[in-house]
Amino acid sequence: MRHTHAARIATAGLLAAGLATGLTATTPALAAPAQGAEGSAYGLKVDGPVSVPPVPAVSSTTGTVRRNLLRENHTKLIDASALNVSAAPARARSTVAKAAVPAAELLAEAVTAKCRDGQGSAHLARAVIAGKRLDASPPPNTTIPVDVEGLGRTSLTLNKQQRMADGRLAVTAVELRLPLPGKPATVRIASATCGDSAPMERPKEAPAPTPVEHNLPVTG
């Protein structure tokens, strides 16, 4: 006999179809989620002169939900070939393959953000910016200053981790700020959020940023 679990799905974007990958588990699969636990994830998001809402996006307070997108290239800021996201009450995962931000010469074979029971991590496969290899498993909140020719200085944050006001942890694998003329743009690649959504008295960002002392001139 086959059993199914009801799922609550919140999606953003109007794009469809893609490549699916599986969730990894580091704690027993039969453990009951904490009361009020919620997981959510998205593949890409762009804020700026030309915005892209979180795509694809999922959230769940019950069973596991998944969503896939074959490609996102609706703006010149970013191109990605396969986006896969999944979420359950206590965990979430987002993977973006062949991501590229041409203006900053940022390329990555794959970018992944994971969150499990309020703990997060990020992994970058063959990621480079301006020809410089990026750490495959960067510490939380690793910040790299970048000089973009014709635009000025900006910053790249890897494995950005923020404790939200409701107590959940949000992990964004890559966050790139671009000083575009008129209005800056922020590109976020692979984000996963999980944990108990009970309100916290003192929201905080954790842990403190880890600056990386490298100036990376970028042409483009």
- CA dist 57 and 11 (Å) reads 5
49-104, pLDDT tens digit by residue?
888 999 999 999 999 999 999 998 888 889 999 999 999 999 999 999 999 999 89
- CA dist 167 and 54 (Å) reads 21
| Cβ neighbours for 127, distance < 8 A, ≥ 6 positions apart | 106, 107, 108, 109, 111, 133, 134, 136, 174
152-163 and 142-148 as β-strands: parallel, antiparallel, unpaired?
antiparallel
- CA dist 152 and 180 (Å) reads 9
Q: What is the C-alpha end-to-end distance of the chain, expressed in Å?
A: 58
Examine the pLDDT at 140 and tell me if it is beyond 70. Answer: yes
Query: Lowest-pLDDT range, 17-31, 102-116, 124-138?
Result: 17-31
- CA dist 161 and 212 (Å) reads 16
Indicate the pTM of the whole model: 0.76
φ, ψ (nearest 5 deg) of residue 104: -110, 10
Average pLDDT over residues 125-151: 91
200-215, pLDDT tens digit by residue?
555 455 555 566 655 5
